[in-house]
Structure 1
Amino acid sequence: MALQDIVAQTVAGLGYELVELERSAGGTLRVTIDFPWETGSEKIVNVEDCERVTRQLQYTLEVEEVDYKRLEVSSPGIDRPLRGERDFERFTGEVVDVTLKAPMGAAAAGQVAANRRKFRGTLERSDAGWQVTWSDEPAPVPGKRVSKKKEVPPLHVLGFTLDEIKEARLAPIVDFKGRKRAGVQEQGK
Structure 2
Amino acid sequence: MKFGPISQKCSHLLHGADYYPEQWVATPGIWDEDMRLMKLAGCNVVSVGVFAWAALEPAEGQFEFGWLDTIMDKLAANKVHALLATPSGAKPLWLSWKYPEVRRVNAAGVREPHGKRHNHCRTSPVYREKCRIINRKLAERYKDHPALFNPPAGALSGPLRKSNFLSVNPPGWRPFWPPSQKQFPISNC
TM-score scaled by structure 1?
0.29
Pick the structure with more strand per residue: 1
Pick the structure with more helix per residue: 2
